Chain A
Amino acid sequence: MENNSNFETRKPPVATTGILGWCRQHLFSNWVNSFITLLVIYFLYQLIPWFLDWSVFSADFWTNYKGELIVDRTFCSRVADPEGDHGACWAIIIVRFYQFMYGFYPSEQVWRVNLTYFLLVVALLPLLIEKIPGRKHLIKFTIAFPIVAFVLLYGGFGFQIIPTNKWGGLLVTLVLGVFGIAIAFPLGILLALGRRSQLPVISMFCTLFIEFIRGVPLITLLFFGMVMLPLFLPEGLNLDGLVRVLVAVTLFQAAYMAEVIRGGLQAIPRGQYEAAQSVGLSYWQMNRKIILPQAIRISIPSIVNTSIGLFKDTTLVIIIGLLDLLGIGRGALADATWMGLSNEVYVFVALVFFIFTFSMSRYSLYLEKKLKTGINMGAD
C-alpha cells in the first residue's frame, strides 16, 4: 500500500498521441484505409496544383501574356495563343464586374445598393450575435429593414425610381434569397403551428397550402407568378415582375420551412406544453417562450439546409427572363466579344454562390455548437 504514493502517473504510449498518433489512428489504421489515404493524396496532388495554375499563376487578369490590356476575347492569352500554356482569362469578369454585381442599375445611383448591403449587415448583426450591445434597438432596425431596403433600392421618398428590370446580377440573387428566406421563416412558423392547430379549418387550410406548394416544382410556381398571378389581381393593379417572383419564391420556401419546423415541434415532449399551460401561459406565450425556441433549435440544421437550397434555386428565375448572377453570366457568354469563356464565368458564379452558402453552413455549425449545451439538458 505504501508503494501507491510512489506511483507516478504514466504517460500514454507515444505512438497514440500527437500528430503521429492521429495519423496512425485516422489515416492508416488498416491497409484499406492506408490505400484510400494514398489514393486521395495522389488525386489532390494532381488536382490542386493544376487548378491553382489555371486560376492564378498562368491566368490573365487585366493584361494578356504580351502585356496588352484585354478588351475582348481575342486578347485573352488562351485565345490568342492556343498552343501556349495559358490559364483562365478573368478579364471577362473584371470588365463586366459591375454587371455581375448590380445588373443595369444606373451607376450614379449605385451607392444606394451598396448602402443597402451595408445596412443588411447591420440588420443581421443582432440576429447573428446574441450578446451584442444594444440588441433591443438593433432588432427594431432589423424589423424595419425590408421597408428601408425597398425604398433605397426601388426609390420613392425623394429617391429616383429604378425599375426592377434594371436590377440584375448578385443584387437580384440576394434580393430573392434574403427576402425569400426572411419572409418565409415567420410564415413557415405560422403554417407549422397552423397545421398542428386543433381548429380543423385552420389546420386543413395550412395542410392544403403546404401540400399544394410542396407538390409543385418551383419553376411551375415561377411561371404561375409571372403569367397567372396578374389574372387573379384586380384590374389596374399590376405587380412588378420581381415582386411576383418574390411572392412565388417566398411561398415555396415557407411551405418547406413549415414542414421542417413541424418536425422540430413534434420532438417537444407533451410535458413542456402541460407545464407551460399549468403556470398560466397563453397559447401564443407558450409557443413563443417555451415551444418554438426549443423546436427551432432542433431544426437549425434543416432550416439552414432548405435555406441554402432556396438560395441556389433562385437561379431558376433565369427561365422567366430575370437576370440574376447566373443570368448575367450567360448574358456575357452570349455576347460576341466574350464568347467561349464559359469556364471562367461558371467558375466565378459557382465561387460567389459557394461563398454565401458556405458561410450559411458555417454559421449553422456555430449555432449548433453554441446551443448544444441547452439541447442535451432536456432529459434528466
Chain B
Amino acid sequence: MSENSIISLQNVNKWFGDFQVLKDVNLEVKKKERIVVCGPSGSGKSTMIRCINRLEEHQEGKIVVDGIELTGNLKNIDSVRKEVGMVFQQFNLFPHLSVKENITLAPIWVKKMPKAEAEELAMKQLEIVKIPEQANKYPGQLSGGQQQRVAIARSLAMNPNIMLFDEPTSALDPEMIKEVLDVMVDLAEGGMTMIVVTHEMGFAKTVADRMVFMDEGKIVEEASPDKFFNDPESDRTKLFLSQILHQ
C-alpha cells in the first residue's frame, strides 16, 4: 500500500456461491483522486465499490479505507461507513420521510447533531444540489433526477471523505442525466475523492483522473482518460470502447 492511498484493495477475491465475481482485484486510490470504473455488465464493477463500504463482504484479500481495514469487526465497518458516502442506481431514498428528513436523519441519529443544526445543514446541501425548494416534499413527488440529487445531498450531509457512485444515471430519463452529472462535476471540482461506476464517457473524459476498465471480475486496464480513450492497450478495452462509443 502506497503511503498516500486513501483506499487500497489488495488481491481482493469474492464469490457469490461458486461464482467468482472478483478475481485478484488491486486498486489504489489517492486522496482527491477521481476514478471512473467502466466495463460490461456482470464485470464486477458494482460489487467492487460495494465492497469498499462493506455492503458486500470480500472473502480474500485486504481492503483498507482511510487507514481502517475492513474485517468482520463491526466497529470498523461503522467508522468506514461514516467516511464513505454512497449513491445508488435506484436512488433508494426513504419514501416515508420528506426530502429534508431524508437528509437530516443520519446527522441526527449517527452524529447526534441537534435538530436545528441538522436542518440548516440539510438546506445547505440542498442548495449545493440546486433543489432547496423541494425540501418539504416527499421523494415520490420528485422526478428521478431530483431524487438522485437528494440522494447525493443525503450522502454529503454526513461529510464523507469519499463518495461512491454506483451507476448514478442509469435509471434516469435522458433529459435528467445532465442535472445529476452537473452536481457530480461540481463535487469533483470541490476536491472530493470519488469512485464512479458509469457509462457516461463524456463525464469520464472531463472529470476522471484515472479510468479503470473491468471485465469478468478482473481489472483489465488502468490508464489516464487520455490514454484510455485514444490508445488503449488491451483488445478487450478496444472492443468495449468501440461498442459504447459507436452506438
Contact = CB atoms under 8 A, between A and B. Distances in A.
Interface of A: 269, 271-272, 274-282, 285, 289-290, 293-294, 297, 373-380
A274 B55 contact: yes
Nearest to A374: B96
Contacts of A275: 86, 88, 92-94, 151, 154
Contacts, number: 79
A374 B94 contact: no
Contact of A272 (B55, B92, B138): B92
Given A289-B109, A294-B96, A278 B139 contact: no
Given A279-B155, A377-B139, A380-B91, 11 more contacts: A275-B88, A275-B94, A275-B151, A275-B154, A279-B81, A279-B105, A289-B105, A377-B141, A378-B95, A380-B140, A380-B144
Nearest to A371: B96
B88 A271 contact: yes
A269 B78 CA distance: 22
A275 B86 CA distance: 8
B146 to A, nearest CB: 10
Counting chain A CB atoms within 10 Å of each CB, the highest count among B92, B110, B158 belongs to B92
- Interface SS of B by simple majority: mixed
B17 to A, nearest CB: 17
Contacts of A294: 95-96
Nearest to A373: B138
B94 A290 contact: yes
Contacts of A378: 95, 140
A282 B94 contact: no
A277 B78 CA distance: 9
Nearest to A279: B106
A136 B17 CA distance: 48
A285 B139 CA distance: 21
A196 B14 CA distance: 24
B92 A281 contact: no
B147 interface: yes
B147 A380 contact: yes
B82 interface: yes
B140 A278 contact: no
B90 interface: yes
A298 to B, nearest CB: 11
Given A285-B109, A289-B105, A377-B140, A278 B94 contact: no
Contacts of A271: 88, 90, 92
6 contacts: A269-B90, A275-B154, A276-B94, A278-B53, A278-B85, A279-B155
Interface in B136-159: 138-141, 144, 147, 151, 154-155, 158
